[in-house]
Amino acid sequence: MKFYFLLFFASVSLFSLQIQVKNKCLDVEVANTEELRCLGLQNRTKLGKSKGMLFIFSPPAYASFWMKDTYIDLSIGFFDENKKLFQIEKMPIYQVKRPLSFYKSNKPIKYALEVNMEWFEKNGIKVGDVLYFN
């Protein structure tokens, strides 16, 4: 029952935002609480081409992500307080036959952006590019 409560809580609390990285627009769900950041994109089976999830940390912090119960290959970009991209990681679907991997920021982050795997590469987004939103 707790599992269903958490899903209901997340669906009520998530809100969408349009963001831009370099010159590419995305519609993202925002995870700005501990509960929403922990849930992330778990239990999803698809993610639209121009969709993603933006994690917001206040204050900035070192962060670690995993792919437990996530069924979509993802990439994650880590951004600093100035919304500047400093790290990109590929996060393949978790396979039971290998240890669960953790994808850690190498410095404190203010924002993390999860998108379909290779979205950054396909759109020419590189370290140093900037995230924009109101």
- Return d(Cα 129, Cα 119) in angstroms, integer: 14
Query: What band does 46 get if pLDDT is binned at 50, 70 and 90?
Result: very high
Q: For the chain, what is the domain count? A: 1
Q: Could you give the CA distance from residue 54 to residue 64 in angstroms, rounded to a whole number? A: 14
**Residues 111-134: what's their mean pLDDT?**
97
Q: Which residue from 47, 54, 45, 50 is spatially nearest to 15, judged by alpha carbons? A: 54
CATH of residue 22's domain is 2.60.120.1140
Q: What pLDDT, in 10s, does the model give residues 97-113?
A: 778 889 999 999 999 99
Instruction: Flag whether the pTM goes above 0.85.
Output: yes
Question: Domain range for residue 124?
Answer: 2-132
